[in-house]
A = this chain, B = another copy of it.
Amino acid sequence: MTQLQRRKIPDAAIARLPIYLQILNNLAVTNVLRFSSDELAALAGVNAAKVRKDLSYLGSYGTRGVGYEVTYLIYQIKRELGLMREWNVVVVGAGNLGCALAKFDGFLSRGFPVVGIVDNDPKKIGRTTSSLTVGDVADLKNIVRDEKVNIGVITTSSAAAQSAADALIEAGITSILNFAPVVLSTPSSVSVRHVDLGVELQILSYYEQMRIETGIKSDSSPELSKVGVQ
């Protein structure tokens, strides 16, 4: 959760910067030059004080009485997040989800080209999906070296996920995005983000059940707040 830091930015703020960035990119496309904390707050679904605090961690880049400059803030957020360069991604697990992610626009368009996809199933190795050929997980070390991979995405079955993680770490990868529904055991020098789609639905289920039990009509009734996104 904490790391050695240049300037200490809270993890919670770091997690929101990509959302602000997304919104500012949209504003830039529509030629908006400036924004206030109020405006960004409304678009991001948070409150203005939070936006100001978050942006203040980057430095004092606003102008009192005026607001912030869109392009300058985009630059600062990208710099802070390490997005001035591309980060190459390898997908481990060439099932439906893995192949869909390998083709997924959202990765490349945000600076994360998928440069490889591997599996351990001989039936899948050699298949071509979009512009990639499925490689052998045994070659991971070479692929990571040759393609300068920085991030591994695990889309295997849960049974295979830990050994996928081990292979990535063995190959020198220190950033892992895991879609398998297991908690990976990794050294503390490796960053893991765990996206469990089942978990997301189960959390929704809890709040949905609560709405049913407390008898909220499915018509929009006020003053029950949105979960997620914080």
Instruction: List the interface of chain A (C-beta within 8 A of B).
Output: 1-6, 11, 14-15, 17-19, 21-23, 43-45, 80-83, 87, 89, 96-97, 99-101, 103-104, 106-107, 109-110, 112, 150-151, 169, 172, 174-177, 181-183, 185-211, 213-214, 216, 218-230
Chain B residue at smallest Cβ distance from A2: B225
* B199 A81 Cβ-Cβ under 8 A: no
* B189 A224 Cβ-Cβ under 8 A: yes
Partner pick for A204 among B97, B175, B197, CB 8 A cutoff? B175
Protomer copies: 2
Complex CA gap A23/B194 in Å reads 15
Known: A197-B101, A199-B18. A187 touches B220 (CB 8 A): yes
Q: List 10 A-B contacts (CB under 8 A).
A: A3-B210, A3-B227, A18-B199, A82-B206, A106-B196, A174-B208, A189-B216, A189-B219, A192-B226, A193-B228
Chain B residue at smallest Cβ distance from A14: B206
Cβ–Cβ < 8 Å partners of A107 in chain B: 197-198, 201
* A211 B177 Cβ-Cβ under 8 A: no
Cβ–Cβ < 8 Å partners of A23 in chain B: 183
Cβ–Cβ < 8 Å partners of A206 in chain B: 14, 17, 80-82
14 additional contacts (CB under 8 A) given A4-B214, A82-B206, A194-B228: A4-B210, A15-B199, A22-B181, A22-B182, A81-B205, A87-B205, A107-B198, A110-B202, A169-B220, A187-B220, A189-B216, A190-B226, A191-B204, A191-B211
* A174 B18 Cβ-Cβ under 8 A: no
Cβ–Cβ < 8 Å partners of A104 in chain B: 96-97, 197
Partner pick for A183 among B43, B87, B177, B208, CB 8 A cutoff? B43
* B110 A201 Cβ-Cβ under 8 A: yes
* A223 B188 Cβ-Cβ under 8 A: yes
A28 to chain B, nearest CB (A): 15
Cβ–Cβ < 8 Å partners of A112 in chain B: 198, 201, 205
Known: A101-B197, A221-B189. A227 touches B6 (CB 8 A): no
Chain B residue at smallest Cβ distance from A228: B193
Cβ–Cβ < 8 Å partners of A227 in chain B: 1, 3, 11, 191-193
